[in-house]
Chain A
């Protein structure tokens, strides 16, 4: 399968600071990437859709000013958690979608996740 990387794998920060998480598709170009959040022993919840060269689309209830998404190239999307608070502590996972013309087409491959802890 295709390879998606995330950096960092773990981050600990103080309340009020901002944290940036990178998501890269290593062996294919992804015009669309997605950001998910997962609480311990829970399922994945879609936060936003990141489209290369345009604004991200956020799911209902997700604050766009708190979770800033940038998709500046076909292989990189970033999620910045601004003014982080302890309730933002979670496992953040990105996925990258293969192109419709790709093999396989329109398939999401996930990164390894980033564990964020806000003190």
Chain B
């Protein structure tokens, strides 16, 4: 089955700086890669996703890049703000129709 590795487990950045979280996946059949933000005691919130027919996608301060050859994808957050502090999970699946395999999560801390 699919295995998703996520790094780092904790990331602390100064407010206004950029944050990058990286994930690798094992199953070459996976072609859908969403990113979720989870705040304490709440369900995951979809923040951006990418499908394997594109290499990059951007939505305001958030961007995701995908390298199919190397089987890795990354989340980039620019101009970080205190409200960006949360746990971020990457995930992978086939087409998005199947259940998601999640990475172990990254606790992002924005220092004021």
* Contact code string B1-45 (vs A, CB < 8 Å = 1, else 0): 000000000000000000000000000000010101000011111
Number of A-B contacts (CB under 8 A): 58
* Contact code string A21-65 (vs B, CB < 8 Å = 1, else 0): 000000000001010000000111110010000000001000000
- Distance in Å: Cβ of B40 to nearest Cβ of chain A: 10
- Given known contacts A42-B104, A107-B34, is B43 in contact with A93 (CB within 8 Å)? yes
- Given known contacts A43-B105, A112-B43, is B36 in contact with A100 (CB within 8 Å)? no
Asked if B104 and A43 sit within 8 Å, CB to CB, the answer is yes
Chain A residue nearest in CB terms to B49: A107
Asked if B46 and A108 sit within 8 Å, CB to CB, the answer is yes
- Given known contacts A32-B97, A43-B89, A110-B36, is B46 in contact with A1 (CB within 8 Å)? yes
Main secondary structure of the interface of B (DSSP, over half): loop
- Given known contacts A46-B101, A49-B99, A105-B96, is B34 in contact with A93 (CB within 8 Å)? no
Asked if B99 and A113 sit within 8 Å, CB to CB, the answer is no
A-B contact pairs, 24 of them (CB 8 A): A4-B43, A6-B43, A42-B105, A43-B89, A44-B44, A44-B100, A45-B102, A46-B99, A46-B100, A46-B101, A49-B98, A93-B43, A95-B100, A97-B97, A104-B49, A106-B95, A107-B46, A107-B96, A108-B34, A108-B96, A110-B44, A112-B42, A112-B43, A113-B41
